[in-house]
Structure 1
Amino acid sequence: MSTPIAIIGAGLAGLSAAHALHAAGLDIQLFEKSRGSGGRMGSKRSDIGVLDLGAQYFTVRDRRFADVVAQWRQRGWAAQWSPSLYNFSRGLLSHSPDEQERWVGTPRMSAITRGLLGDLPVRFACRIAEVFRGERHWHLQDAEGVTHGPFSHVLIATPAPQATALLAAAPKLAAAAASVQMEPTWAVALAFDTPLDTRVDGCFVQEGPLDWLARTRSRPGRETQPDTWVLHASSAWSRQHLDLPKDAVIEHLHGAFAELIGCAVPPSSFTLAHRWLYARPAQAHQWGALADADLGIYACGDWCLSGRVEGAWLSGQEAARRLLEHRQ
């Protein structure tokens, strides 16, 4: 029996790599610190249903990603979203000229990562704290002090600041990951008993604390949900208010939303706030993935490329390609 490959992180990048390696006939073992897959494409359960508080949609530019999105669509994991889009700038709400295709997981964003996970072996609620190499193999130690292994290779698919610590055995890769600045985002969900009287489904906000807002029921598969809105604060505002209590974050963003949406906004019947500490890289990179093939350690994630959903998937593919290439 072959020694398995450890993959730390069951977000889109990790699952992309896992799929490619599994398809090549290799044994893998996934480790995920959360209770479910998806990372920033995960969906959060709430009293009013499942909410997408992270990635709001994704676009397609690369042919390889286009092919896989077509497969997701056929399997019912994804659908095209055609929202009534607006911009808010200089105090004015106006139609957005942006006509690019947008996609969402259906009936929730996590449908894609759940579908990709399938029957792959995974340990949830297992936070890996250290990655170390013995004479021949890799071992992992989790936050509870339990050691996992041996593994022939390790692939780290976590946000760059978390990857930095796990890459200690490969200093050059750790230095590259440490150079990546990740931006935070406060996300807030608001629900209303009476639907708001607006045609806005999504809005790019160019001023104030908000960066983006979207109406959940405008997305495929969510039409029967209450009138729920997801608000994303800007990176700058989120950085400045990183440790603000959730109630205060909700109050600030609810007020900003009410001022720009262009209709009466009653008190919300439900609110929820979530802080994404590592929401997106501050700038794009062209690494594809990080690799020390001689040691057998790799890292991937959206931060290795564009910072987009597509970048996460492509980075996972690139890490798997490099690993497979070195095994030949």
Structure 2
Amino acid sequence: MSAPIAIIGTGIAGLSAAHALRNAGQNVQLFDKGHGSGGRMASKRSEAGVLDLGAQYFTARDRRFLDAVQKWRDEGWVADWDPDLYEYRDGRLSPSPDEQPRWVGTPRMSAITRALLQDLTATFCCRITEVYRGEEHWQLQDSEGKTHGPFSHVLIATPAPQAAALLASAPKLAAAAASIAMEPTWAVALGFREPLATPVQGCFVQEGPLSWLASNRSKPGRDGQMDTWVLHATSSWSRQHVDLPKEQVCETLRGTFAEMIGCAVPEPDFSLAHRWLYARPSEAHQIGALADGGLGIYACGDWCLSGRVEGAWLSGLEAARRLLEHL
């Protein structure tokens, strides 16, 4: 029996690739440094309920992704989210004209990757620090010094800066990944025991430190004792304040939220901040996936395409396609 294929990262790109490879009869083994799957589609359990701190929703334009999303909906993993959507510019709130369909995982964003993980072999809390090739096979080394392998191929599905470090055996691919700039995003969650008296359920913010805010409880399947809100700072504000203490991030973004939401905002009963260091690529690309078929090493992620959930899924599909071409 041939050695399995290693996939580093269990976000939507890694899981998309894993399913495409398994459907083609390949044996795959996944690794992730986190406690669970999802990457930036992960959800956080808290005393205020489950919070989507990363990807807030996703859209589907490509027919292949739309077909996948319809299957996920049939399985009950996703639902459409049609919030009362606003935009904030020139100091005022107004209804947003954006009517494109939006999807969310249910009952939390991470439900999608949790479901996709079923029947796959994955090792969590395992930070891979080195990927190297022996005479015939690939080996992985983790941060504890443990070696994993042998593997016939390696597919790296992590943010570009992390992928670049793991692509040392393929210098051209490493250079391509290293050239991709990724932007940070500060996310803040606020919880209120009494619901805020605002019609807003989602808002695109066009000025100041915030870029987006959403009522977490307005999404299908969410529960919790509190009225919870998730705020995302702009890339530029997050970059300028990337090392700001979490308490100050919460205070600043809460103040901005209170000024613009159009109702009285009391002190929150719950708050937390989370820094996504590699939240999104600074611009869209058309790489699709990185591949060295001769060596048998590949890389994929949202940074290879649009920076969106759909882009991550399509990039994983493309990496799997290129790998299968070389078998």
Specify the TM-score bucket, using the shorter chain as the normaliser: over 0.9
From the superposition, tell whether residues 64 and 254 of structure 1 become closer, same or farther in structure 2 (CA, over 3 Å). Answer: same
- Residue in 1 aligned with 2:252? 252
How high is the sequence identity, in percent, across the aligned residues? 75
| Counterpart code for 1:65 | F
1:204 alignment counterpart: 204
Give the Cα separation in 1 of the matches to 2:8 and 2:205: 35
2:61 — aligned with what?
Answer: 61
Report how far residue 223 of structure 1 moved: 5.0
The residue type equivalent to 1:162 in the other structure is Q
1:188 is matched with 188
Q: Counterpart of 2:278 in 1: which secondary structure?
A: strand
Unaligned runs of 5+ in 2: none
The corresponding residue for 1:95 is 95
Residue of structure 2 equivalent to 1:28: 28
Secondary structure in structure 2 of the residue aligned to 1:44: strand
Matches within 5 A, 1:23-172: 23-172=23-172
CA offset digits 1:201-249 (Å, max 9, x no partner)? 0000011110100001111101555210000000000001000000000
Contact 2:216 2:228 in 1 (8 A): yes
Alpha-carbon separation, structure 2, partners of 1:269 and 1:99: 33
Counterparts of 1:260 and 1:250 in 2: how far apart (Å)? 16
Contact 2:185–2:232, Cα closer than 8 Å, also in 1: yes
**Shift in Å, 1:325:** 1.2
Q: Deviations over 1:92-113 (max 9, x none)?
A: 1111000100000000000000
SS at match of 1:232: strand
1:50 shift after superposition = 1.3
Which residue in 1 is equivalent to 2:221? 221
Q: Give the whole-Å Cα distance in 1 for the aligned partners of 2:122 and 2:225.
A: 31
C-alpha separation in 2, matches of 1:51 and 1:240 = 25
How far apart are the structure 1 equivalents of 2:173 and 2:12? 21
2:309 aligns with 309
List gaps (5 residues or longer) in structure 1: none
Question: Which contiguous aligned blocks of 4+ residues in structure 1 show a shift greater than 4 angstroms?
Answer: none
Quote the Cα distance in structure 2 between the aligned partners of 1:199 and 1:207: 20
**Distance of 1:277 and 1:215 partners within structure 2:** 23
Do 1:217 and 1:225's aligned partners in 2 also have CA atoms closer than 8 Å?
no
CA deviation after TM superposition for structure 1 residue 279, in Å = 0.2
Rounded Cα–Cα distance in structure 2 between residues aligned with 1:119 and 1:204: 38
Q: Give the distance between the partners of 1:211 and 1:128, measured in 2 at CA.
A: 33
| Equivalence for 2:262 | 262
Partner-residue secondary structure (3-state), 2:144: coil
Asked whether the 8 Å contact 1:216–1:228 carries over to 2, the reply is yes
Q: TM-score, normalised by structure 1?
A: 0.99
Instruction: Tell me the equivalent position of 1:239.
Output: 239
Deviation at 1:310, TM superposition (A): 0.2
Counterpart contact for 2:50–2:222, Cα < 8 Å: no
CA distance in 2, matches of 1:81, 1:6: 35
Query: Secondary structure at the residue paired with 1:273?
Result: strand
TM-score of the pair, normalised by structure 2: 0.99
The residue type equivalent to 1:303 in the other structure is W
Output the CA distance in 2 between the equivalents of 1:110 and 1:135. 39
1:119 to partner: Cα distance: 2.1
SS in 2 for 1:203: strand
Secondary structure at the residue paired with 2:315? helix
Count the aligned residue pairs. Answer: 327
Q: Distance in 1 between matches of 2:225 and 2:216?
A: 8
Instruction: Output the CA distance in 1 between the equivalents of 2:223 and 2:203.
Output: 19
Residues 49 and 223 of structure 2 are in contact (CA less than 8 Å); yes or no, is this contact kept in structure 1? no
Please tell me whether the aligned partners of residues 180 and 281 of structure 1 are also in contact (alpha carbons under 8 angstroms): yes
Please state whether the residue corresponding to 1:236 is helix, strand or coil: helix
